[in-house]
Amino acid sequence: MSTEKIPYKIYLSEEELPKQWYNVRADMKKKPAPMLNPGTGKPVTFDDLTPVFCDELVKQELDETTPYIDIPDEILTFYKMYRPSSLVRAYCLEKALGTPAKIYYKFEGNNTSGSHKLNSAIAQAYYAKKQGLKGVTTETGAGQWGTALSMACSYFGLDCRVYMVKVSYEQKPFRREVMRTYGASVTPSPSNTTEVGRKILAEFPDTNGSLGCAISEAVEAAVSTEGYRYVLGSVLSQVLLHQSVIGLESKAAMDKYGIKPDVIIGCAGGGSNLGGLISPFMGEKLRGEADYRIVAVEPASCPSFTRGKYAYDFCDTGKVCPLQKMYTLGSSFMPSPNHAGGLRYHGMSGILSELYDQGLMEAISYEQTQVFEAAQQFARVEGILPAPESSHAIKAAIDEAVRCRETGEEKTILFGLTGTGYFDMYAYAAYNDGTMTDYIPTDEEIAQSFAELPKL
């Protein structure tokens, strides 16, 4: 098929939108290791999890066999307000790079929250409402998840309490105000409103906070407040399930034109956008129907895949959550204040960790100045101002396209452009002023947090 026939944007009609999510675990012969109850050391049960999470979401979390799960009508209606997201052929970037590669990106930044996180936020808010709860608690790092969840909660009339990593709370006051506009309450974390927050503050009074620490506070707030549950924006298998809508739409759009990606690239914080984007493609790979190269991209300052250990660890600094087997830097790892706040998490999705361990996907890391260089290059030709997190995937896609220029290969590259960077202008300012620095943790620092991994 000649390239001229492929439009800048490939659209899907309402009828072509996915009606079901895809659960990639169903096609994994070796499943991700079960989460463990930290008290008993045994695999968690439905009853262990329901005091913390909504019942229906626990069912989804524990379901490793059902391949397709119907998307409830109320969620489909909400999805129709901002989906399908665009699948764009990056003709202008290809031209600027002089590459024979064909570059496509799936852009999830076209909703007010500015990222893919709304895909799972609306699902989680829906199940909380359906259970008759009063509200939910959560953490937010850079603020995208908190924003998405506050939008979703206001749509369903639920209360939303957000613990926001302190450094982001201070650096991103406008994010906070968006959340408050949607009716959420926002507390900087660590805070003295929870026991775990007070403990962390006593030990590290000058801490910038971390996602792991904010999670502990949000969980404590949920279990100690009647009618509340905790919701999480990444890492969990239920979140990858909801995010599969990204991959299903991408695949449907590409199939319309007979396009098959050779390489699929996504940034990886907790793994939800990447997991969602690759799910249907990985399904084909697992069933032996097709092959794809799949690449996770992470910051060199928080390199869970590339320098982490595949081990059981706590999902949070306060060690109140179940243990998950994952690629981790250790729950006590405190990443440097890299500007890609959404990628500053010590661990990784259990599903992606298992797929990576089986050699079904690769991982690379970049330093932030390289990432911003790619972001600027992309913005100047494709027009979109990308989020720092998303720009990790841009950098990897550009590098791949440049390699194709050198080898003459006409590879098809698909990458996830997870969001926009309008709330990251301090980071862009640092890059533009030439004051941005890179920080790579030393082996000693990582060894210190490895030493605190739970001993099983």
Q: Which is nearer to ligand PLP, 99 or 115 (CB)?
A: 115
CB of 415 vs ligand PLP, minimal distance in Å: 12
Q: Which is nearer to ligand PLP, 268 or 278 (CB)?
A: 268
Find where tokens 């005091």 sit.
51
Q: How far apart, in whole angstroms, are the C-alpha atoms of residue 389 and residue 145?
A: 13
Q: Which is nearer to ligand PLP, 271 or 322 (CB)?
A: 271
Helix (H) or strand (E) holding 223: helix 211-223
250, 284 contact by CB (below 8 A): no
**Best CA proximity match to 280, nearest among 248, 257, 256, 253:** 248
The DSSP code for 419 is: B
Q: How far apart, in whole angstroms, are the C-alpha atoms of residue 280 and residue 261?
A: 12
Structure tokens at 233: 């924006």
* Identity of the residue numbered 412: T
Instruction: Identify the bridge partners of residue 409 per DSSP, sorted by sequence position.
Output: none
Q: Which is nearer to ligand PLP, 18 or 269 (CB)?
A: 269
Contact residues for ligand PLP, defined by CB under 6 A: 115, 117, 144, 234, 267-273, 342-343, 387, 389-390, 418-419
Rounded to the nearest 10°, the torsion over CA 292, 85, 352, 209 is 140
CB of 69 vs ligand PLP, minimal distance in Å: 19
Structure tokens at 5: 């026939």
CB of 14 vs ligand PLP, minimal distance in Å: 26
Find where tokens 């290809």 sit.
94
CB of 276 vs ligand PLP, minimal distance in Å: 8
Q: How far apart, in whole angstroms, are the C-alpha atoms of residue 32 and residue 402?
A: 35
CA 329 centroid distance within chain: 17
Q: Which is nearer to ligand PLP, 332 or 420 (CB)?
A: 420
CB of 271 vs ligand PLP, minimal distance in Å: 5
Q: Which is nearer to ligand PLP, 113 or 331 (CB)?
A: 113
Q: Which is nearer to ligand PLP, 111 or 273 (CB)?
A: 273
CB of 345 vs ligand PLP, minimal distance in Å: 8
Q: Which is nearer to ligand PLP, 133 or 141 (CB)?
A: 141
Q: Which is nearer to ligand PLP, 257 or 422 (CB)?
A: 422
CB of 109 vs ligand PLP, minimal distance in Å: 7
334, 210 contact by CB (below 8 A): yes
Collapsing DSSP to helix, strand or coil, 319 comes out as: coil
CB of 425 vs ligand PLP, minimal distance in Å: 15
Instruction: Identify the bridge partners of residue 9 per DSSP, sorted by sequence position.
Output: 88
Q: Which residues contact 49 (CB under 8 A, 6 or more apart)?
A: 58, 61, 62, 322
CB of 172 vs ligand PLP, minimal distance in Å: 12
23, 67 contact by CB (below 8 A): yes
